[in-house]
Amino acid sequence: MIQVTDIYVAVIDDDESFRRSLVRLLRAAHYQPLTYPSAEEFLADTKHPRFDCMLLDIALGGISGLELGRRLAASGSTVPIVYITAHDDAKTRAEAQAVGCTGFVSKIEPRDVLLDAVARAVKSAH
């Protein structure tokens, strides 16, 4: 059985204060978060562990979260992605679903909604 403390979550968001709050939340839930301020920095990190889940902001400067999701899918990645966004609308949700996401969470939703989405994503990966 996998221990929660062995579960690595990539957090890719260009909002530094939001990344910090996610790190605190994930650590309190006994996950191991690693953060990246951009898709480019995530892609450049060739030494990261195997992630069990990704929390990926849709609106990133440079490569967008949706484009990163497309690139990862094209490369054969099966890491479940939970998209997070401050701009929640039907079009964005549809685009995220088309890319292939496990979850979609608005940044203004309660934190337990985000943790539930992470737990579902991790469960789908194992």
Distance CA 115, CA 66 (A): 21
How do residues 41-60 score in pLDDT, each as one tens digit?
999 998 988 999 999 999 99
Tokens of 96: 């995220």
The answer to whether the pTM exceeds 0.85 is: yes
The reported pLDDT for the residue numbered 21 is 94
Low-confidence ranges of the chain (pLDDT < 50): 1
Residues 2, 15: Cα–Cα separation, whole Å: 31
Q: How many domains does the chain divide into?
A: 1
Read off the CATH number of the domain in which 23 is found: 3.40.50.2300
Residue 1 confidence (pLDDT): 45
Domain interval for residue 61:
4-125
